[in-house]
Amino acid sequence: MTSVMPWERPGSKIDDRHLQRLAVVYVRQSTRQQLVDHQESTRLQYALVDRAVALGWQADRVLVIDEDLGRSGSSAVARTGFQRLVTEIGLDHVGLVLGIEMSRLARSGRDWYQLIELCALSGAVLADTDGVYDPGEYNDRLLLGLKGTMSEAELHLIKQRMWSGRLNKARRGELAFPLPSGYVRRPSGEVAFDPDEQVQTVIRLIFIQFERLGTLHAVLRYLVDHDIQLGIRLREGPDKGTLEWRRPNRMTLQTLLHNPAYAGIYAYGRAGSTRAARTRPAPAPDGSSAPGTDGM
């Protein structure tokens, strides 16, 4: 009997053994913003159902896993869809895994090689827009490994570029980040006082009382005793920009009193610092008075 080498096998890499199982279309995009700005990518991924049908699967035997829309592929920890995919493969329920490209499945080498190994053990094949791969075959496994390595390296380069750009903008003082209570950002990007005068008055009062009483706890007790609430503008969601009045708490007051924006200072990279500085009212970056001063 003459043995047949892998590259001499007739026909497709997909056979009846695969067709008896499910074809899984895995859909993922990294952020919610991408879902809004790059809808064509989402449509292309869902259209992979048609490719599975073209490869021989019945439409009702194609499973779409899209729980990971808006989630990064850097880790499988928070990706319930990827975890579900791995479970289905481990249970020998899957004959084909389809993704628009390998980076959609995983950008972590650990997660990627786990997926390849499970597919090789269960006999499942993978496919993207370039072709169909059998991880049980050496050449296909090598190619899948290269694709996974490139995907992981690409993620590192993307993060590096984003971090460098962010740092350069911060050095120029042009990096915009959430403003503290009492300030709003106009559509033009200019920083201005909150148009609600009551918000301005409360911020001014907090700094005056902190100057008079000297401790954060005393200021908090003063606000609670006089039933004074803080005006907070929502930063995200459908009601973004809406003003809400909330009871003050120690952490909110501490963050407010330590924020250099009230002293007219542009600061970036303060995360993780344990140094607490007593902040006093001073001119804002545009030369006007901060909400906590008498020069409003």
- Helix, strand, coil % (nearest 5) of the chain? 45, 15, 40
Strand order across the 131-133 sheet: 62-69, 22-29, 94-98, 125-128, 131-133
Residue 238's SS3 state is coil
The residue from 12, 30, 72, 74 that is catalytic is 30
3-state secondary structure 195-232: CCHHHHHHHHHHHHHHHHHCCHHHHHHHHHHCCCCEEE
CB 243 within 8 A of CB 196: yes
Q: Is the dihedral of CA 269, 270, 275, 281 positive or negative?
A: positive
Phi and psi at 43, nearest 5°, equal -65, -40
Active site residue 181: no
Catalytically active residues are 30
